[in-house]
Amino acid sequence: MASRFNWCPISPAWHYRQCLGRYYSQGNPFSAVVERRIIPTPTSRRGRNDSDHRLQRRRRLELLAFLASSKHEPSRNILDLLPTFHLLRPQSSSSSSSSLTQLTSSACPSNQLVYIMASPQKGIKTPTSPSSNRRPSVSTSASRPVHFKNIFTSSTALLKTQPFKKEMVSDTVNRTSLHPGGVQPTREHTEIEEELHDKANIDYDRVAIIPNASVAALYEDALVYETGSAITSSGALTAYSGVKTGRSPLDKRIVKEPTSENEIWWGPVNKPMHPDVWRINRERAVDYLNTRNRIYVVDGYAGWDDRYRIKVRVVCARAYHALFMRNMLIRPRPEELVHFEPDYVIYNAGSFPANRYTAGMTSSTSVAINFGEKEMVILGTEYAGEMKKGVFTILFYEMPVKHNVLTLHSSANEGQEGDVTLFFGLSGTGKTTLSADPNRALIGDDEHCWSDRGVFNIEGGCYAKCIGLSAEKEPEIFGSIRFGSVLENVVFNPETRAVNYDDCTLTENTRACYPIEYIQNAKIPCIADSHPSNIILLTCDARAVLPPISKLNNAQTMYHFISGYTSKMAGTEDGITEPQATFSACFGQPFLALHPMRYARMLSDKITEHKANVWLLNTGWVGASATKGGRRCPLKYTRAILDAIHSGELAQQEYETYETFNLQVPKTAPGVPDQFLNPCKSWSGDATDFQDEVRKLGQLFRENFAKYEDEATQDVKEAAPVV
């Protein structure tokens, strides 16, 4: 079984245990011990000699590489250079230290930093053979790496040197044995450090502020400091978000302040927060960040259109969060990061809980946005999606209110002729799958804005569900999971690091986050200069009573857009024995900042102006409900319907009226059986049961829409099902 190795820089400044590669083996040439003055030297139990029992028990080998600065003479012994540590003690008294002296003086020149490749696992037992007990081969040339053979299984521990920059060494004074770190003189601070200190009171003299770190650097920090992090066989980084493996919509708050108070849609979606409570939570988040040894800063844009993009800064304590937002925001060019002045700042202290006894708090989780201060504070949840959707809520407010630009929870793609299609849909309706069309360029998979010039993506990455993911079902997403991607809450094989996408041990909401350029047919920059010609409202009806495809007029579009219907399947929650209707206004209710009817009116105006066709596409069940033997609509038929929409053929077909919902249903469609297009013709059960199911669903639509009738026009109200 091959061992796994990571490259990691090692020096005495690193934490004693975290920097050690541990493994167990038999017959090693050295009995290596790391000794610190405050730690007793490990000795053999009951005075026994290790060499007498090396074949009976495993011995621990802890490797620690050393820092040899220019102050040290090359000819001096390493045991004298670092009096606090003793390295690679010889196995027995008969072993000479000359080989160690030769190694340290020749392989580690005085101005070089040593790296060692070490196994991060405990308990790796390597097989032995008679030939494996010989002394390792050591190269004494400083110009080539030094190899320790037969220490790791199927691998070689490789000591490698690279130039050491003197400016990396901290110049400290007043060092003593009690305080070996000494005192570091005051240094100049960067622009980001000064800004965080002035605006958020971040203690830049105590906390290491890491701005806009590279992907590799964030990988290293996540692996060293964050439990649950690993590199998978595809090269992606896995991360564990803790107890919260999904969003907490009930803990979302909007600060009630003068500049936005009259615009916000107050209610169960946007609960008001008093400014005093906001200040308490913000201070609590900053206090937590000040207790960290390091925090990360990520700067990026939201919105690909230069006229409307918003500058966002994320301040967080986890490398996983920093890499996540580095992927999801649009990454600025290096010159754009100079003097970067954010419009909004997110303080993510998700590892630290909110005070439940603070006024207005209902749990230890708080996700709050202050449109006046242009800040967001996260407490009590480490789920990275809260940051992504927080930015989305900001755009749902900023774009319509300040720019008359429509924000949409949709995916979008573009054909070879420049025709744009928008896909609206809730989770499980096929929004991501259907927009990833090999014959069309992907503009984005989740969040967009519709301006006076066309459609542009808000994000710089994709955040796809990966439960049940396979290369056969979704090759574009599967192929995007590689170095730089983040896999959230997945389960992998501890030996091969291969991810089991069918394993929902941690959560069913497993996710993959990756830059959008990882999609082969993505359009970069993610912006279309033409307006949508087709708009598709996706639903997944488990009752099998909505048609697979129907054409909507303007009033019906507003009605179904505000309704945002799909099904919650039986068995997903205790007590659910049949499919349950789920409604989410504008297909994105948890993220809305304004009243749903305001977005619906903007959408209606744009559809009328640009003469777009609107379709209701059902990707759910046909023939019977999901609990009575029905089958899911075959993907090949859904794809055929989409192809007919894009080619314009479907709009030319003859239509008939589908009763109760008054929908226009095509009688024929290329590549689709005729009886499949009308639910009453494809229903396999009793006709009376079918009519009962239709009426039940129609009544649920009417009851849900009653919440929005006060803002709706008469023609929109008349688009409701007739029951």
Residue 183 has a pLDDT of 82
31, pLDDT greater than 60: no
Residue of 331, 431, 440, 646 marked active site: 431
How is residue 670 written in tokens?
Answer: 């290329």
Does the pLDDT of residue 430 top 80, yes or no? yes
Structurally, at CATH architecture level, domain 531-719 sits in Alpha-Beta Complex (3.90)
Q: Closest Cα partner for 627 from 697, 669, 580?
A: 580
pLDDT in tens, 572-603: 343 444 568 899 999 999 999 999 999 999 99
Tokens of 611: 């003469």
Residues 241-266, mean pLDDT to the nearest whole number: 95
- Please, which pLDDT band fits residue 425 given cuts at 50, 70 and 90? very high
Known catalytic membership, residue 507: no
Given a cut of 50, whether residue 67 has pLDDT beyond it is: no
C-beta pairs of 226-232 under 8 Å, 24+ apart in sequence: 226/318, 226/319, 226/320, 229/320, 230/492, 230/497, 231/497, 232/481, 232/487, 232/490, 232/492, 232/497, 232/498, 232/499
199 tagged catalytic: no
Give the model's pLDDT for residue 179.
85
Task: Report the pLDDT value the prediction gives residue 628, as an integer from 0 to 100.
Answer: 86
What is the phi-psi region of residue 149: left when phi exceeds 0, alpha when psi lies from -120 to 50, beta otherwise? beta
Backbone angles phi, psi at 93, to 5 degrees: -65, -20
Catalytic residue among 54, 253, 284, 389: 389
What sign has the CA pseudo-torsion 149, 152, 153, 158? negative
Is the pLDDT confidence value at 532 over 50?
A: yes
427 band by pLDDT with thresholds 50, 70 and 90:
confident
The residue annotated as part of the active site, out of 72, 253, 309, 409, is: 409
Listed residue (321, 473, 341) closest to 390, CA to CA: 321
Q: Is this model's pTM higher than 0.85 or not?
A: no
Q: What is the 3-state secondary structure (H, E, C) of 467-513?
A: CCCCCCCCHHHHHCCCCCCEEECCEECCCCCCEECCCCCCCCCCEEE
| Annotated catalytic residue 271 | no
Confidence of residue 497 (pLDDT cuts 50, 70, 90): very high
Q: Catalytic annotation on 247?
A: yes
pLDDT, position 108:
40
For residue 402, which phi and psi values (nearest 5 degrees)?
-100, -20
Which of the residues 511, 551, 560, 598 is marked catalytic? 511
Place of tokens 């399947």: 569
Residue 493 pLDDT:
96
pLDDT in tens, 454-490: 999 999 999 998 999 999 988 889 999 999 999 999 9
**pLDDT at res. 529:** 94
Query: Exactly one of 238, 446, 550, 584 is catalytic; which is it?
Result: 446
Weakest-pLDDT range from 22-26, 69-73, 363-367: 22-26
User: What angle in degrees, to the nearest 10, is found between the helix axes of 596-610 and 554-563?
Assistant: 150
pLDDT digits (tens, 9 = 90+) for 182-198: 887 777 889 999 999 99
Marked catalytic residue, from 41, 98, 291, 427: 427
429, 432, 563, 682: the active-site residue = 432
Q: Which residue has the tokens 């919902």?
A: 661
446 catalytic residue (yes or no): yes
Q: Degrees (nearest 5) of the Cα angle 454, 455, 460?
A: 145
- Is pLDDT of 329 > 80? yes
Report the distance separating Cα 19 and Cα 83, nearest Å: 19
What is the C-alpha separation between 642 and 538, in angstroms, rounded?
12
**What are the pLDDT digits (tens) for 121-179?**
333 333 333 444 444 443 333 333 433 333 333 333 333 344 444 444 557 888 898 88
Q: What Cα–Cα distance (Å) separates residue 722 from each residue in 118, 318, 546?
A: 70, 53, 14
Out of 89, 247, 448, 646, pick the active-site residue. 247
* pLDDT attached to residue 589: 95
pLDDT of 369 above 70: yes
Q: Helices marked H in 181-274 — which ranges?
A: 191-200, 215-225
Q: What is the CA radius of gyration of the chain?
A: 31
Q: Could you confirm whether 632 is annotated as catalytic?
A: no
Domain range summary for the chain, segments of one domain joined by +? 196-227+244-402, 531-719
The reply to whether domains 196-227+244-402 and 531-719 share a CATH topology is: no
Q: Is the pLDDT of residue 50 over 50?
A: no
- For domain 196-227+244-402, give the CATH superfamily: Phosphoenolpyruvate Carboxykinase, domain 1 (3.40.449.10)
Per the listing, tokens 């037969």 go with 150
- Count the neighbouring beta carbons within 10 Å of the beta carbon of residue 52: 9
The pLDDT value recorded for residue 151 is 34
What CA dihedral angle connects 689, 694, 695 and 700, to 10 degrees? 130
